[in-house]
Amino acid sequence: MTMPAWEVGGRSLDSRLLLGTARYPSPAVLEQAIRASETAVVTVSLRRESASGRAGSQFWSMIKALGVAVLPNTAGCKTVKEAVTTAEMAREVFETSWLKLEVIGDDYTLQPHPFLLVEAAEALCRRGFEVFPYTTDDLVIAERLIQAGCKILMPWGAPIGSGQGLNNPYALRTLRARYPEITLIVDAGIGKPSHAVQAMEMGYDGVLVNTAVARATDPVQMGRAFGLAVEAGRRAYLAGAMPTQDLAEPSTPVTGTPFWHSAQPEPGR
C-alpha cells in the first residue's frame, strides 16, 4: 500500500527521509545513495559547495537532475549576522525559501546556541524564509522558536555525527506530545536505521541523516536501509503499536483449548 504524501513547508513529498550530502567518498556514490534512499529532500551547505567553484556547479547540476528538493543550511555559522547573510545567499543560489538554520554555540558538541538561534529565526521568518531550525529537545526553546514564526522544528537526537541515536527519548516524546500540530524532524546523532525507526514510531514526522550513510562501508546500501527504516517506522506509528506491560500474556488464548489437551492420562495411570 502506498504511503500518503507528506505535506511540509508548502510542498508534497513522497518520502520522510531527508539526506545530507557531505562527506561521501565521491559525487557518484552520493548520487547512487540519494537514488537508493528514495529521499525527496537533500541538505546542502552553501559554504562548502560555493567555495569549490566548478565542482560546486557540477554538484548543483547533479542535484537538479535528481529532481529532489533542496534544503540549504547555514552550517558553521556562529552569529546571527553570519546566519542571516548565508541564508540570503542560499535563497538566491538555490532558488528556495527553505532553510535549515544552524547557529552553533559549542565547538565540542556542536550544540546550537539557544539565544542566537531564536534571534536568527525571528529575523529570517520576517524575511519570508521557511525556517527549519536545528535545535535541542528543550521545550522552552521550542516554544520560543514557534513564537518566532517557525512551523517546523528539528530537535537533535544526539550531537552531530556521533551516531549515538536518541539520547533522551523522554524529552523527544514530551516534545511530540506538547506540539502535535508542529512538524518535528529528528536531526543529528542518528547512527543506525533502528534509530530512525525509533524516532518515527514516536510519531516524528521525519528524520535527517548524513554521516551514518556517508561514512558507511556501503553508502548506497545504507541509504536504502534508511529509506526503508523511515517508512517502516511511520507505518508502525500509524498502525498503533501494542502497549508494553510487566506481565506475560499468552499469544494463544487459553479458552477453547483443544479437547485432547484435557484428555491426557494422569501421571502413574
The catalytic site residues sit at 100
Secondary structure (3-state) at 244: coil
Cβ atoms of residues 107 and 143 within 8 Å: no
Residue 153 identity (one-letter amino acid): L
Residue 10, C-alpha cell as written in the block: 508548502
**Distant-in-sequence, close-in-space partners of 73: CB < 8 Å, separation ≥ 6:** 43, 44, 45, 46, 99, 100, 101, 102, 134
Burial of 43 (0-12, 13-18, 19+ CB in 10 A): buried
Residue 133, C-alpha cell as written in the block: 531550525
Helix (H) or strand (E) run with residue 46 in it: helix 46-51
Cβ atoms of residues 66 and 31 within 8 Å: yes
Cβ atoms of residues 182 and 146 within 8 Å: yes
